[in-house]
Chain A
Amino acid sequence: MIEQLRGLKDRALAQIDEAADLEALTQLNVSILGRKGELTATLRGMGSLSPEERPVVGQVANEVKTAINDAIEARTSALSGAEQQLKFAREAVDVTRPGRAPFTANLHPLTQVVRELLDIFTGLGFDIAEGREVENEYYNFEALNIPADHPARDMQDTFYVAPGTVLRTHTSPVQVRVMEQTTPPVCVVAPGKVYRHDSDVTHSPMFHQVEGLMIDEGITFADLKGVLHSFIHSYYGPQTGIRFRPSFFPFTEPSAEVDIQCVFCKGAGCRVCGRTGWLEILGSGMVDPAVFGCVGYDPEKVQGFAFGLGVERIAMLKYGIDDIRLFFENDLRFLKHFG
């Protein structure tokens, strides 16, 4: 019987070894180890053995069974690994093909710049205020200390829509309206569109400004410098040179133009900065007492500053754009550059 078992084992192992696929193995498993299988049939003869022989044959039978089992398992795993590999090979893709992506888009470069600016100013504690674009002459001029027939009106070529009604030439009317509606302290930035009667490669009849206003007791020109320094240093980097230079705006006094060291030549002098090494980026000053008078603030109690900057100019400098009209013609190739 032991011979029989050993013979069975050798045959079985050879067959398992030759099995070509998982299906053949499954059949072998059934025909050898199954209930009606060869091994089972052989072991049925155990009953005729003597009590001394039984444990010996039993042990051999177990060894044979284990060996066959192990062989089947090993062969199964070998075969299934190969089969999976075939499957994977069939399913392989060209990983260099582009992925399924929809059309993508981005915000207009001017919107992006406005956001960058507002992020800095809101971080400094400024609230955001907006205003109308068709404005009373009073809010655009008179309340800002720019009387009719004053040469200061020449600084801003104006579109009129009716006598006394204009397209706002700056975001400063927002200052006046905010001050009329609130009591100090006031601390706002006002982004928006403004309009001037002018059109060439550096002037668009419509452009964008961001205006700032801070009013409280004891706000000084030194504070104006501090706030603008921290704005410039966060936008252009902490090493950027800054200079404040006296200027004139009817609604501020003292007034200052603010220049930064040229971002192209780092102050050495180049075509962009007109060889001065400096770029003018914003206008500012202490709110003129006449403006406080118009909104009913007492200039003996409160003081404050205002500043304004041109968004297109900032964007043109930042991205090296030399024709302002590109912003408003909306060629998708241009817009996409800012994605």
Chain B
Amino acid sequence: MAAPAANAPVWLGLTRVVLQRIASALLTLLLVSIVIFAAASLLPGDAAQEVLGQSATPEQVAALRHEMGLDQPAVTRYLDWLAALLGGDPGRSYIADMQVTELIGARLVNSLSLAGITALVSVALALTIGIVSAINRGSKLDRALNIVTLSLVALPEFLIATVFVLLFSVKLVWLPSIAMVSPEATWSEMLRSMALPVACLTFVVSAQMARLTRAAVADQLDRPYVEMARLKGVTFRRIILFHVLPNAAGPVLNAIALSLSYLMGGALIIETIFSFPGLASLMVNAVTSRDMPLLQACAMIFCAAYLALILIADIVAILANPRLRS
């Protein structure tokens, strides 16, 4: 057992654990890239044949296969792809005849702003719901919120989106049902067109987040220190704000990071429904047109973002709980 004076070793140990987690996440990302490449490259069909169509002569197909590097062994192709990916060049789209980076560039920014706004709104909403229902555990309000969030978790994203479109675009005519994001649009136009996608994604994400938050806060409320504080005569407000919330911060932040990873699955559907020019709808298009270089690049971006969120959750949990540090 280290004495309290030995501050440096504690920090050293912490840095080591965090670095280990980062290394492990990077290793996972490498393994994920193998899975994605294998799944997308070992297709039954032949990409060169598909690009050229049925009328192509065997010589043309062979020439294109050579140009695309398809005549190389799979391991060589994987290493080439990985090296190019690390160098920031995920290749050329089969269909659009453009560099994949060009296709992704602007859309990545759009998707990130959609995710950012959604994260802000849903964190505020979910924390409020989670904390309120934890404080009022067992009450009618808590049970009602439990059923509502439980049901929302089970609803498909496209259902929430269709109901929202029906309500706000068709019946009330408040908001556009198609998200036009153009560089010339003013801020207010942008926000108006993003309102419905953000609202739908918020619904999808915050239900789970609120449930996890409630569980984390309720868990703290059961601890002996809360009872002790109560016996000392500390007001309930003070117990929640100064005793419970700081202690629940770790698990709650963990819950936030985990729930935000649901954003990616949700974005696939929501971006497509609202024709939002983001990365997720690009990926759905890539699946429809079987544009493998584009699909691989999109999948890798999503996996990297997902792993980053999990990693942040992991590190926050370590920072918040000294027992996980060793």
- Do A and B interact with each other, yes or no? no
